[in-house]
Structure 1
Amino acid sequence: MVSSKNKKSFNITMVAAAITTSMAYSQQVLAEESNDLSIEVPKFETITVLGQAYRNTATKTSLTPLETPQGVTVIDSELLDQRGVKSLNQALRYVPGVTTEQKGGAVTMYDTFNIRGFDVNQSYYDGLVLQSLTGWNLQPQIDPIALEQVEVFKGPTSVLYGSMPPGGMVNMIAKTPQEMRSTDVNVAVGSDNLTEASIDTTGQIGDSDFSYRVIALARSKDGQVDHTEEERFVFAPSIDWNVSDSTYINFNLYYQNDPSMGMNSSLPASGMIYDNPNGSTSPSTFAGDKNWSEFEREFVLAGYKINHDFNDNWSFLQNFRYMDATLSQKNTYHLGDNFDPMTGDLDRNIYSTEESSTGYTIDNQLSGLVYTGNLEHNLLFGLDYQKLDGVSAYSEYGTTTQFGTFNIFNPNNDMIDPSQLSSTYDAKDDVMVEQTGLYFQNQMRYNNLIMILGGRYDDYSSSSEYSDDYGDSKSAADHQEFSYRVGAMYEFDNGISPFVSYATSFEPVAGTKTDGSTYKPEMGEQFEFGLKYGSADQSKTAALSFFNIVKSDALMANPDDPWGDKLQIGEIESRGAEFEGQWYVTDSFDVAVNYTYIDMEITKDSGNGLQGTQPIYVPKHAASLWTNYHIDDGALAGMRIGGGVRYVGEMQMDAMNTDQVDSYTLVDLSVGYDLGEFSTSLLGASVNLVANNLFNEEYYTCYDSVNCWYGAERNIELNFKYNF
């Protein structure tokens, strides 16, 4: 029998061998052709076109970010490659208003971030929600290898997408088939024994009306903490069919297998942030046990898009996706009374989950262009629907004290004997979520004035049938909500565009309290105004936003009982400002900067003692800078030198604001070189060296003083790409 470790090496080696062979062959052909002076060696320049079914996240129309009267940030695939990002968390590091990697650098199985202070629990992929198993851990996580760009929309978006936090949303735009033939092969090595190989190939199928794209990835690396590993395999084919001049169909599949997803444990602040005379922990300290540490996830997404133009003014888009996902977890956790700071002894609870879910989402959009006099109306009518069914089996097996005493300053991660475990508690949770939304939007233009008006009605229902050793219980949520948005922007001839908007949101709350009562839906509203600027040649762009968000009937974990009923505290207010700008100083030098200020406070609380406090994971100040310099002449022609600086201010350590987590500043570096400038036989080849957290700065995030995480350590990656 082949061990999982040997099996992993075989998979990656086979992919790498195939890529290396194709590269060697292509280099030989190019070299032979370049020796023939009558043959011109081609320049490898791929122009990527977004899919015909692409819609702007903020409006589901072709309105550009600079024309949208709310904050929008777009990150393209070139920038994702330059920074060497491996997750959505990492992709959002330089986005204003976003606080990312809330569980540090070692917990990579989730994308944990907030926008304008409000947690975002579900992201979108190509305009459709990535459905999560409510109350549990299972949710698809898209790898950046499959992304053309990432769009971050700030503020409420319920008017187009239904249930949504008021801070904003993230929509990941998938790579689509291109008619121009192009293939990228990548091989990467780096810190923590990183080994990665991938291929991305696209083109037209002969002279037919079909185009294809196939993306495949194999990656393996050691986790940041001891005894953990991260593995991933991705396969994402898609086909475009231009049925006629007016009808386009896209079929797409995304399969991902994560045999190992690192770890999901935290550490106390004592010995990390606070000095402890008994010792200290480190970013590699593991609070779990290598004999009971399993995190496996597998999922498939299958869908289609149909776009039909009835005439020059009216079109219809249907976007559909089916999901099937599973997750298996064996882990330990600890609470406040499990840790003794005087000795460093930590008592851990042993548990496991087996989770599965199936679901589908569909969005139907009818859009049209109508004129009433000099007023242009871009109309949008939409009907969307989603349903998810899932189940989670949860078991506990007592505490680790049955195997001895675990000490965080002298960790023994080889204590648990799985053969000696028997469950002390078993539970099963059957979950169902269903939502139907009907929406309308009118985007109007009168000369330089842009106005937008939209409304949406949602019918949301969910249920949970929970059974355990003590009996059965049922809970349900049934909400009908109306949300809306109004906004306006005026485009002056000098490129300055002031804007103002007001939007609302709602978030359904599933579950029932122990007293039998249900939670109210969380409601949000935002008022925003600001300025956007774009020079005539688009070499200089900037946006300045001021916002005020109020969330009522807000839900949060009880600081005195994290595993008990959540608190519906009343009202949270987030006020602040964001600035982001980009300047192409010359054809060779560009710089992007951003700054965020957030003043967030719980303004109303019904007796929980939290009024006047600031939520965790929300720095008052944050800023970043990223720059690239391309060398076009001389001995170093073809080289790009890039890098960035990220600053994140102080954050509260816990809900009661008893202490703060220090601010931190990180430096990233990215150096690329076009090998075709060195030799014509290497046309299409390039290398990229990425160093994140270059100076290995130690930094932290905390949920409370007993649950903290180290930030990502210095990570270096060397990536070789070949395009042909």
Structure 2
Amino acid sequence: MNSFIQLKPSLLACMIALTSSYSIVSHAQETKVSGELLEALTVKGQTYRNTATKTLLEPHETPQGISITSKESLEQRGTQSLSEAVRYTSGVNTELRGGAITRNDFFNIRGFNNQQNYYDGLQLLYNDWNLQPQIDTAAIEQVEVFKGPTSTLYGSMPPGGMVNLIGKSPQPFQKNQLEATLGSNNKREIQIDSTGPLNETMNYRVIGLIRQKEGQATTSEEERVMIAPSLDWKISDRTQLNLNLYYQQDPSAGVYSPLPSKGTLFNNINGTLDATAYAGDSNWETYDRDVLLFGYKLDHTINDTWHFLQNVRGMDATAYQENTYSTSLAEDERTLSRRAYLTDEKSTGITIDNQFSALFEVGKTEHSLLVGLDYLQLTSDILYEDGVAPTLDLFNPNHHQVIRSDLSYNPFYSSDFTIEKEQVGLYVQDQIRLDQLVLIAGGRYDHYKSTEKGKKYGAETDTKVDQSQLTGRIGALYELDNGVSPFISYAQSFEPVPGRGRNGQTYDTSTADQWEAGIKYDAANTVASLTAYQINKQNVLTRDPEGSPYDLVQVGKVRSQGIELDIQQRITDEMSFLAAYTIQDVEVTKDNNGIQGNTPIWTPDQQLSSWLSYEPQSGSFAGATLGAGVRYIGEMELDSKNTDKVPAVTLVDLSIGYDLASFSPDLQGANIQLSVSNAFNETYYSCYDANNCWFGDDRSFEVSARYEF
């Protein structure tokens, strides 16, 4: 067992109000707490917990970076995916796979790639291949990005941070919504959202969606059907049960194949490729995914001190894929050599999080103790076949060349194996409030196991990972009377490392730590934060100088440091503004591959985003909502060797909405909205290396008509 830090049993304490929201709302009404608080508690539901603390502690009281994007912001910008939802969040780069790739939610947080997302506090189980569950934004209330190492509460996680999607919950009042959308690329979509009481003890919600559109790449299509019913049952004054289900079918989810840098990022002797360029074959282009998530949340007040929350979710998912990838570009710079492959994947799993909390006072201090035990298990069966595909003329493409009967698979690539993962974590968090001082500390012990058994790349495999880890965090925040709250924190994370090195030895756990300090401000009409951080990641795999080119050792290190500024301000009753700025320096500080001192890919040196919203209350434009956003994405490295740059780009997004009730009282509840992304149709790119580049999103628009009743 690798002990990352040693934590003593006596921990600092934290303030968590983990009592029933029914009693909270009742008390708030008696004490005339602001309507904004009541609305927040009602919308999020009784089982909602802040991502950064698993408590009801407000973000501005949390001594670590956290950014929240509300449902209203998602709707105004016309967001359809998680990547689009976090575009205006500091420290997050969503430009990893370009505009044509929509089947996965991949992004980079504070310089580290993350494919491991959360939904209502539980991990969306991902098999590290091609079967990643996606949650449509139609079912999302808000998106929370928890910055920096998060392992103390969530276990194995990249050190840059995590994204937690907060789902829409049943409400105690009747509300129905029907929405129809038309847009570019022949987009057609219908959404329904209905919520309300069934009786005095039960509230329901049903969310549904049907979407069809053409993808950005030539010949590609995207289809989705989603339904998400849930039920809140107040079993007693002390106990509430939430039952929830999420089912999504993606019969077609666009393309995945990249393009070479010549003809996209760089000049090509034959000209420049269009943003709709496609390197695959429509006869061999399939991605069919089915995801079923089902679970419950049990919320129980044990007594005046102790509270219990159990969050459980099971998963049953499949994905079948046919795709091509390129191997080389000929000297004529137009003939692309390709291979065809298929994957057939099935995943089943379960995640459970048990939380016991106690709220008490000791002298002048108010304490809250959180003790949790969580568990996740995933079994995934994977079939992979790979063969030679016909070459493609990029500048005179024939996208109908593949003949299934002519494909012959190479046994060297053939794979049929099973992945099993299991993680058990025990965590303790304690917080103390002494007047205006908030202290938080926590520790966690994890035991992680994984196996791969079967035939992988033509050979039998039986690899195992059995690793344990201690992680912790500690932080302090002081709330001044003027709304300024300086804070400082230290946090750790870990990631198990599968595989074996030279002589068959297993790898140790990869660990990371972060120091973070900053100032948060929450007063009048402004919420802002300024944060500086440094993350150091150790035990990164790198080439073994004494072994073969495929042997790896754990001597690599990566350092990420930066500054983030976030501002949300209500300028007037009619105008609001948000901005997010990131400057970061990410460097490989130790490596045997000759890239020491280099910057990893997908880490822009700077990012700036801002959004201005105007809602006139009187005059000719009363009832309208006008929005404009600007996103600047700084230059990135082309490849790990830093041979060239992917240039910076500035993008503009626009939004116009209108409440039709302002036009006529008979249209109460009806509104329309136009959203435009990349309004000036800027061409931009992301790259993995010179052979793998993607066009960014081209200009797109959608018009939505919504009726609430």
Q: Could you say whether these structures have the same fold, taking a TM-score greater than 0.5 normalized by the shorter chain as the test?
A: yes
Query: Offset at 1:470?
Result: 4.3
Do 1:546 and 1:576's aligned partners in 2 also have CA atoms closer than 8 Å?
Answer: yes
Structure 2 residue corresponding to 1:609, chosen from 594, 604, 607: 594
Deviations 1:496-522 (A, max 9, x none): 000000000001122335753333221
3-state SS in 1 of match to 2:43: coil
Task: Give 2:665's aligned residue.
Answer: 680
Tell me which residue corresponds to 1:158.
Answer: 151
Q: What's the counterpart of residue 624 of structure 2?
A: 639
Alignment of 1:271-286 (within 5 A): 271-286=263-278
Tell me the TM-score normalized by structure 2. 0.92
When residues 469 and 119 of structure 1 are mapped into structure 2, their CA distance, relative to the original with a 3 A threshold, is closer
Residues 10-49 of structure 1 mapped to structure 2, 5 A cutoff:
49=43
- Distance between the aligned counterparts of 1:568 and 1:701, measured in 2? 28
Contact 2:252 2:288 (8 Å CA) reproduced:
yes
Contact map agreement 2:389 2:407 (CA 8 A) in 1: no
**Could you say which residue in structure 2 is the equivalent of 1:6?**
none
Residue 555 of structure 1: CA displacement? Answer: 4.1
Q: Does 1:700 align with 2:685?
A: yes
Q: 1:282-361 counterparts in 2 under 5 A?
A: 282-335=274-327, 338-361=328-351
* 1:683 Cα deviation from its structure 2 partner: 0.2
Equivalence map 1:51-130=2 (5 Å): 51-130=45-124
CA distance in 1, matches of 2:457, 2:57: 55
Note if contact 2:285-2:322 (Cα within 8 Å) is conserved in structure 1.
yes
Q: How many angstroms apart in 1 are the aligned matches of 2:487 and 2:645? A: 36
What's the RMSD between the two structures over aligned residues?
Answer: 1.6
1:654 to 625, 639, 644: 639
Change (3 A) 1:508 1:676: same
Aligned-pair CA distance for 1:420: 2.1
Q: Does 1:494 align with 2:482?
A: yes
Matched ranges for 1:591-606 at <5 A = 591-605=577-591
Question: Hey, what's the Cα distance between the residues in 2 that align with 1:238 and 1:119?
Answer: 32
Amino acid at match of 2:333: T
Q: Show CA shifts across 1:217-270 (max 9, x none).
A: 000100000010000000100000011111000000000000000000100110
Cα deviation for residue 448 of structure 1 reads 0.2
1:473 aligns with 2:467: no
Q: 1:407 to 1:569 in 2, by over 3 A?
A: farther
Residue matched to 2:126? 132
* Aligned residue identity for 1:375: T
> Equivalent residue for 1:246?
238
Residue in 1 that maps onto 2:363: 373
> In the TM superposition, what is the alpha-carbon distance from 1:424 to its structure 2 partner?
2.8
Aligned counterparts of 1:130 and 1:510: Cα–Cα separation in 2: 20
- Does residue 621 in structure 1 map to residue 606 in structure 2? yes
Match of 2:352 among 357, 362, 365: 362
Quote the residue 1:16 is aligned against. Answer: none
Deviations 1:23-51 (A, max 9, x none): xxxxxxxxxxxxxxxxxxxxxx9985211
Q: Which amino acid aligns with 1:204?
A: P
Aligned residue among 574, 590, 612 for 1:588? 574
Contact 1:463 1:511 in 2 (8 A): no
Q: Counterparts of 2:561 and 2:595 in 1: how far apart (Å)?
A: 18
Secondary structure class of the residue paired with 1:530: strand
Q: Do the aligned partners of 2:655 and 2:673 also contact (CA within 8 Å) in 1?
A: yes
Query: Following the alignment from structure 1 to structure 2, what is the Cα–Cα distance between the partners of residues 408 and 294?
Result: 21
Partner AA of 1:165 in structure 2: P
By how many angstroms is 1:414 displaced?
A: 1.1
Q: Which residue of 1 aligns with 2:527?
A: 541
The aligned counterpart of 2:134 is: 141
CA shift, 1:400, in A, is: 2.0
CA distance in 1, matches of 2:193, 2:159: 36
For residue 472 of structure 1, report the CA deviation from its aligned partner: 1.4
Q: Secondary structure at the match of 1:159?
A: helix
Contact 1:270/1:341, CA 8 A, preserved across alignment: no
Aligned-pair CA distance for 1:407: 1.6
Query: Would you say 1:575 and 2:561 are equivalent positions?
Result: yes
Give the 3 Å change call, closer, same or farther, for CA 468–577 of structure 1 in structure 2. closer
**Is 1:521 paired with 2:509?**
yes
Q: Aligned partners of 1:94 and 1:471: how far apart in 2?
A: 45
Counterpart Cα distance in 2 of 1:510 and 1:180: 49
Distance in 1 separating the partners of 2:373 and 2:506: 28
- Asked whether 1:663 is paired with 2:648, we answer yes
Q: Does 1:263 align with 2:255?
A: yes
Q: Counterpart of 2:574 in structure 1: which amino acid?
A: S
CA contact (8 A) 1:102 1:112 kept: yes
Alpha-carbon spacing, 1:566–1:627, altered in 2? closer, same or farther (3 Å): farther
AA in 1 matched with 2:577: V
Uncovered stretches (5+) of structure 2, i.e. residues with no partner: 1-37
1:311: Cα distance to partner? 2.6
Letter in 1 for 2:692: N
Q: Secondary structure at the match of 1:156?
A: coil
The 3 A distance-change label for structure 1 pair 680 and 109 is same
The aligned counterpart of 2:389 is 400
Report which stretch shifted further, 170-179 or 565-574: 565-574
Q: Secondary structure at the match of 1:236?
A: strand
- State the alpha-carbon separation in 2 of the partners of residues 250 and 87 from structure 1: 25
- Which one of the candidate residues 161, 165, 170 is aligned to 1:172? 165
Corresponding residue for 2:381? Answer: 391
Query: Is 1:208 the counterpart of 2:200 in the alignment?
Result: yes
**Closer, same or farther in 2 for the Cα pair 1:174/1:469, shift >3 Å?**
closer
Rate the CA distance shift 1:671–1:569 in 2: closer, same or farther, 3 A.
farther
**Structure 1: distance between partners of 2:526 and 2:148:** 24
> 5+ residue gaps in structure 1?
1-44
How many residue pairs get matched? 665
Partner SS for 2:152: helix
2:395 counterpart SS class: coil
Amino acid at match of 2:132: Q
| Partner amino acid, structure 1, of 2:579 | V
| 1:15 counterpart residue number | none
Deviation readout 1:640-674 (Å, 9 max, x if unpaired): 10010000100000000000000000000011000
For residue 468 of structure 1, report the CA deviation from its aligned partner: 5.1
Amino acid at match of 2:532: F
Q: Letter of the 1:374 partner, please give it.
A: K
Kept in 2, the 8 Å contact 1:619–1:650? The answer is yes
1:104–1:515 distance in 2 versus 1, CA, 3 Å: farther
CA deviations on 1:331-352 (whole Å, 9 max, x unpaired) are 11123xx212433211101110
| Alpha-carbon separation, structure 2, partners of 1:645 and 1:377 | 43
* One-letter code aligned to 1:229: E
Most deviating of 504-513 and 636-645 = 504-513
Whole-Å Cα distance in 1 between the matches of residues 682 and 394 of structure 2? 22
Could you tell me the percent identity over the aligned residues? 48
CA deviations 1:300-339 (Å, max 9, x no partner) are: 000000000123332100000000000000011123xx21
Q: Distance in 2 between matches of 1:469 and 1:195?
A: 41
Residue-by-residue CA offset, 1:172-205 (whole Å, 9 max, x unaligned): 0010000110011100000000000010000000
Aligned partner of 1:443: which letter?
Q
Task: Specify the alignment match of 1:457 in structure 2.
Answer: 445
**What residue in structure 2 maps to residue 32 of structure 1?**
none
Report if aligned partners of 2:64, 2:147 keep a CA contact under 8 Å in 1: yes
User: Structure 2 counterpart of 1:340, which letter?
Assistant: A
Q: Determine which of 397, 403, 428 is the counterpart of 1:411.
A: 397
Alpha-carbon distance between aligned partners in 1 of 2:430 and 2:253, rounded to the nearest angstrom: 44
2 CA distance for matches of 1:484 and 1:421?
52
Instruction: Return the letter of the residue paired with 1:419.
Output: S
CA distance 1:278–1:463, shift in 2 (3 Å) = same
Write the distance in 2 (CA, Å) between the matches of 1:178 and 1:408.
53
- Give the Å deviation of 1:687: 0.6
